[in-house]
Amino acid sequence: MSFDRKIKIAPSILAADFANFGQECEAVEAQGADWVHVDVMDGHFVPNITFGPATCAAIRPHIKGVMDVHLMIAPVDPSIEAFAKAGADVITAHVEAGPHIHRTLQAIRASGAKAGLALNPGTPASAAEPLLDLVDLVCVMTVNPGFGGQKFIDMGDKIKALRAMIGDRPVHIEIDGGVDVTTAPLVAGAGADVLVAGSAVFKGGSVSDPEVYGRNIRAIRAAAEGVYV
Ligand code: DX5
Ligand code: ZN
C-alpha cells in the first residue's frame, strides 16, 4: 500500500446489502471506489453489532484494493491479530476504546497492517499529537459512531489542526460519517484525503444496478476535488 494524498473515496459496506457483501465490494470497486471501508461494531463500545474477523476474511477475496477496517470495539488488542490475518490493510482503533492506545497502535503495526487512529467528535485533535509517529491514518469521526445515515457534524477546525500537526508525515486524514456531495467539500477543503461514505454511495443502487454507485462516487469525488488543498 503506497502513500499519496489524492482524494480517495471509501464506500462503507455498512450501507451495502449484508446478504451480498462479496458482490457489493466488487461492484463499488468496479465503479471507481479507491478503498473499501469495513465497519466492525461490538454492541459495547458502540450500541450496534455488525460482524467480526470471519466476515472480513470472507470479504477479502472480493476486494482487489485496500480493505480499510474500522474497529468500533473495546477492548481492541485481543482481536488485532485476527483482523490482520483476515487480510485488513488498514486497522483503525479508537483513542476512546481503552487506556493503552499507544500499545494498541504498536500492536497493529507489528501485525503488518497500517495503523489508524479514530477520534470521536467529542475528542480534541490534541489527543492524536503524541501518537502521530505511530500512525498511518487519523480518522476524524463526523458522526458519533454506531450507525450509518446520521447527520454530519462539522469538524473543520479539528481537521485543519490535524493537517498542521501532521506536517510532512505520510499520514492520511480520513473522514467518517455523513459524507455526501454537500459535506465532501467542507472536509476536503480542510485537508482530508480519504472520504468514507456509506449511504451517499449505496443509495439508489444495487448489485444489479451498480452504475448508480459509480455516479454517486464520481459526484462525491468531483465535489471534494473542486476545493482540495
Ligand atoms: C459509523 C461508521 C461509518 C458509517 C458511515 O459508525 O463508522 O463508516 O458507515 O455511514 P454514512 O456515510 O451513511 O454516514
Ligand atoms: Zn467507519
Q: Which residues on adjacent β-strands are paired with residue 2?
A: none
Whole-number Å distance, alpha carbon 229 to ligand 2 midpoint, is 24
Tell me if the bond preceding 75 is cis, omega within 30° of 0. Answer: yes
- Which ligand 1 atom is at minimum distance from the Cα of 177? 14
Whole-number Å distance, alpha carbon 152 to ligand 1 midpoint, is 10
Residue-wise pLDDT for 181-198, tens only, equals 999 999 999 999 999 999
End-to-end CA distance of the chain: 23
pLDDT band at 227 (very low <50, low <70, confident <90, very high): confident
Distance CA 157, CA 177 (A): 16
The bound ligand whose nearest atom lies closest to the alpha carbon of 142 is 1
DSSP letters, the chain, are -----S-EEEEBGGGS-GGGHHHHHHHHHHTT-SEEEEEEEBSSSSS-B---HHHHHHHGGG-SSEEEEEEE-SS-GGGHHHHHHTT-SEEEEEGGG-S-HHHHHHHHHHTTSEEEEEE-TTS-GGGGGGGGGG-SEEEEESS-TT-SSPPP---HHHHHHHHHHHTTS--EEEEESS-STTTHHHHHHHT--EEEESHHHHTT-BTTBTHHHHHHHHHHHHHHHTT--
**Active-site annotation holder among 42, 89, 136, 176:** 176
Query: Residue 228: its pLDDT value, please?
Result: 60
Residue-wise pLDDT for 95-148, tens only, equals 999 999 999 999 999 999 999 999 999 999 999 999 999 999 999 999 999 999
Q: What is the mean pLDDT of residues 14-39?
A: 98
| Residue 180 Cβ < 6 Å to ligand 1 | no
Grid cell digits, residue 12: 462503507
| Residue 141 Cβ < 6 Å to ligand 1 | no
Percentage, residues of the chain above pLDDT 70 = 99
Whether 176 is a known active-site residue: answer yes
| Residue 195 Cβ < 6 Å to ligand 1 | no
| Residue 199 Cβ < 6 Å to ligand 1 | yes
Alpha carbon nearest to ligand 1 atom 1, residue: 145
Whole-number Å distance, alpha carbon 39 to ligand 1 midpoint, is 8
- pLDDT above 80 (res 43): yes
| Residue 70 Cβ < 6 Å to ligand 1 | yes
pLDDT band at 229 (very low <50, low <70, confident <90, very high): low
Whole-number Å distance, alpha carbon 179 to ligand 1 midpoint, is 8
- pLDDT above 70 (res 220): yes
